[in-house]
């Protein structure tokens, strides 16, 4: 299948290993990615927290750019995903706003693209049976807790993603790879997101709770689909309590025997290689 | 003249705040409530009571992380996350500014990076944030480590049609 691809800013910087692993997994699953032409930032939290119209317009510029190629647009970053879904929601439900934003952006919003996260595409289009066949190395002994965070799920009427209090799609992907995803109570908790620089102590406290709860559940790592969550998990946990975090696509690539994981894992702040080596997976 | 409550309702364009019957589900689920001077449901009450200055001057509106747990669980679909966005916007417009200055400095540095290159250049954005906030030294080790690993680079690809992005900023600036 062929889909448009919107990497977003993080995936070209601190979330580099997410971009590289999404691309590797898509190639192995015969998903052709066509990058959205001359994309710009979605505006993220900073735009919607301070200027509503700016936030809708920045996302609309990208949605309109993606409409050159109607169909699915894959958006791996949970923050960009949330912003695009939210902009679509506002543009669909408010005709006056839509006209105004079209004037601001200088283009017409035709609403012809479907914003999708790779979790959804891998699960619903490829399917766990195919994934199981692609596994070269079963991830026996890897016990992740899936951390979905906020932005893929809430508000549910806008995100239309998975069960918003007990999401399971990432867990099912992990299961298909031979890993042993564990149930835990913090799947949809918040990591503090963009407060990480302006109010670091709040993020430290929230991440500390996540690590404590992950350990309580018996996990030896966390998997996520959000570069903000990943950065907070990877850099804000207390050294004595932190567990390695992964982008879910890194784990998929590892199980599928693809090239790349070695390079990506070196980029992590909390090195996951000792864990993988101890399990004979690396 | 519109009351504070009417002003906010007009901006939210959804369920009016009067629908809140203070079950406190929003506060119970709020991950940041522990750090807030006024809990989310209390902010709703303060708006109902017309306490504009107290609300706009509070740190609460800046500490909200926009996780949207409140609106997801509200039995009356009151969009508290959107309400918080509106309150921040009003605090900026009315020149009250932000009780949590570093948080606003972060947003300003972030948006200024988009305006400059169309996409976020993380190192430059963080330098800009540090200059604005005066918080020069935190995370320096982390930043250096990411730089050494090649995770962040001083220059990164920009949006070619940068004028179209800047036009969005100028047409939405207040």
pLDDT at position B91 is 97
Sheet holding A2-5, edge to edge: A32-35, A2-5, A71-74, A113-116
**pLDDT mean over B1-10:** 96
Q: Is the dihedral of CA A265, A266, A269, A274 positive or negative?
A: positive
pLDDT at position A64 is 98
Q: What angle do CA B146, A222, A127 make, to 5 degrees?
A: 110
Q: Distance between CA atoms of A28 and A26, rounded to whole angstroms?
A: 5
DSSP state of A123: I
pLDDT at position B1 is 86
Tell me the CATH number for domain A2-116.
Answer: 1.20.1050.140
User: Residue B120's pLDDT band (boundaries 50, 70, 90)?
Assistant: very high
CATH architecture of A136-278: 3-Layer(aba) Sandwich (3.40)
Compare CB distances from B152 to A14, A49, A54 and report the shortest one's residue. A14
Tell me how crowded residue A212 is: count the other CB atoms within 10 A of its CB: 14
What average pLDDT does chain A have? 97
Q: Is the pLDDT of residue A153 over 90?
A: yes
Query: How is residue A101 written in tokens?
Result: 């934003």
Query: How is residue B106 written in tokens?
Result: 């972060």
pLDDT at position B138 is 86
User: Residue B152's pLDDT band (boundaries 50, 70, 90)?
Assistant: confident
Query: How is residue B34 written in tokens?
Result: 């522990």
CA distance B159 to chain A (A): 6
Residue B7 burial by CB count (10 A; 0-12/13-18/19+): exposed, middle or buried?
Answer: middle
Interface of B with A in 36-55 (CB under 8 A): none
The pTM of the full predicted model, rounded to 2 decimals, is 0.97
Q: Note the pLDDT tens digit of each residue in A41-69.
A: 999 999 999 999 999 999 999 999 999 99
Q: Note the pLDDT tens digit of each residue in A167-220.
A: 999 999 999 999 999 999 999 999 999 999 999 999 999 999 999 999 999 999
A34 touching chain B per CB within 8 A = no
Please choose, from the candidates A66, A57, A52, the residue with its C-alpha nearest in 3D space to the C-alpha of residue A5. Answer: A66
Q: What angle do CA A213, A178, A26 make, to 5 degrees?
A: 100
DSSP state of A124: I
Would you give the end-to-end CA distance of chain B in angstroms? 21
Compare CB distances from B172 to A57, A192, A206 and report the shortest one's residue. A57
Task: From the options 1.10.1060.10, 3.50.50.60, 3.30.310.50, 1.10.3720.10, give the CATH code of B4-93.
Answer: 1.10.1060.10
Q: Note the pLDDT tens digit of each residue in B84-104.
A: 999 999 999 998 989 999 999
Cβ pair A74, B113 in contact under 8 A: no
pLDDT at position B154 is 81
Mutation site, B13, B31, B73, B76, interface A, largest A CB count within 10 A: B31
Count of CA atoms in the C-beta half-sphere (13 A) of B174: 12
Mutation site, B68, B118, B138, B174, interface A, largest A CB count within 10 A: B68
**pLDDT mean over A233-261:** 96
pLDDT at position B156 is 84
Question: Any idea where the domains of chain A sit in the sequence?
Answer: 2-116, 136-278
User: Residue B145's pLDDT band (boundaries 50, 70, 90)?
Assistant: confident
DSSP state of A164: S
Residues from chain A that touch B129, judged by Cβ atoms under 8 A, are 197
CA distance A100 to chain B (A): 10
A208 touching chain B per CB within 8 A = no
Q: Is the pLDDT of residue A270 over 90?
A: yes
B155 touching chain A per CB within 8 A = no
Maximum Cα interatomic distance, chain B, rounded to a whole number of Å: 58
pLDDT at position B155 is 82
User: Residue A249's pLDDT band (boundaries 50, 70, 90)?
Assistant: very high
Residue A77 burial by CB count (10 A; 0-12/13-18/19+): exposed, middle or buried?
Answer: buried
What average pLDDT does chain B have? 94
Q: Is the pLDDT of residue B147 over 90?
A: no
Which residues are CB-neighbours of A251 under 8 A, at least 6 positions away?
A139, A142, A144, A174, A177, A179, A223
User: Which residues make up the CATH 1.10.1060.10 domain(s) of chain B?
Assistant: 4-93
């Amino acid at each position: 299948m062929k889909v448009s691809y919107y990497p977003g800013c993080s995936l070209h910087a601190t979330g580099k290993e997410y971009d590289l692993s999404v691309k590797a997994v898509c190639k192995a699953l015969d998903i052709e990615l066509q990058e959205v032409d001359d994309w710009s930032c979605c505006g993220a939290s900073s735009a919607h927290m301070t200027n509503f119209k700016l936030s809708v317009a920045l996302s609309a510029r990208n949605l309109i750019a993606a409409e050159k190629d109607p169909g699915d647009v894959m958006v791996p970053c949970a923050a960009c995903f949330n912003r695009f879904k939210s902009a679509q929601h506002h543009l669909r439900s408010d005709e006056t706003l839509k006209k105004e934003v079209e004037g601001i952006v200088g283009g017409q919003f035709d609403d012809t693209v479907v914003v999708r996260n790779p979790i959804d595409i891998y699960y619903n289009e490829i399917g766990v049976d195919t994934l199981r066949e692609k596994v070269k190395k079963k991830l026996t002994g890897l016990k992740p807790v899936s951390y979905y965070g906020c932005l893929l799920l809430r508000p549910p009427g806008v995100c239309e993603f998975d069960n918003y209090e007990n999401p399971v799609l990432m867990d099912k992907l992990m299961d298909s790879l031979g890993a042993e995803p564990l149930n835990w109570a913090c799947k949809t908790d918040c990591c503090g997101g963009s407060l990480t620089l302006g109010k670091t102590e709040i993020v430290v406290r929230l991440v500390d709770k996540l690590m404590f709860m992950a350990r309580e559940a018996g996990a030896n790592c966390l998997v996520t689909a959000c570069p903000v969550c990943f950065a907070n998990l990877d850099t804000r946990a207390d050294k004595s309590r932190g567990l390695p975090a992964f982008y879910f696509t890194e784990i998929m690539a590892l199980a599928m025997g693809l090239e790349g994981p070695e390079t990506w894992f070196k980029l992590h702040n909390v090195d996951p290689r000792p864990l993988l080596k101890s399990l004979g997976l690396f | 003249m519109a009351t504070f409550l009417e002003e906010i309702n007009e901006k939210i364009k959804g369920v009016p705040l009067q629908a809140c019957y203070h079950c406190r589900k929003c506060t119970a689920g709020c991950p940041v409530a522990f750090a807030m001077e006024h809990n989310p449901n209390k902010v709703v009450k303060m708006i109902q009571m017309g306490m504009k200055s107290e609300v706009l001057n509070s740190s609460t509106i800046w500490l909200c992380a926009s996780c949207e747990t409140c609106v997801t669980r509200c039995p009356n679909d009151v969009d508290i996350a959107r309400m918080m966005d509106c309150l921040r916007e009003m605090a900026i417009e009315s020149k009250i500014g932000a009780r949590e200055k570093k948080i606003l400095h972060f947003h300003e540095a972030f948006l200024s990076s988009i305006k400059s290159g169309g996409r976020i250049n993380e190192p430059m954005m963080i330098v800009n944030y540090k200059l604005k906030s005066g918080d020069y030294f935190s995370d320096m080790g982390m930043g250096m480590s990411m730089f050494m690993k090649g995770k962040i680079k001083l220059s990164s690809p920009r949006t070619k049609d940068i004028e179209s992005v800047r036009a969005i900023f100028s047409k939405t600036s207040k």
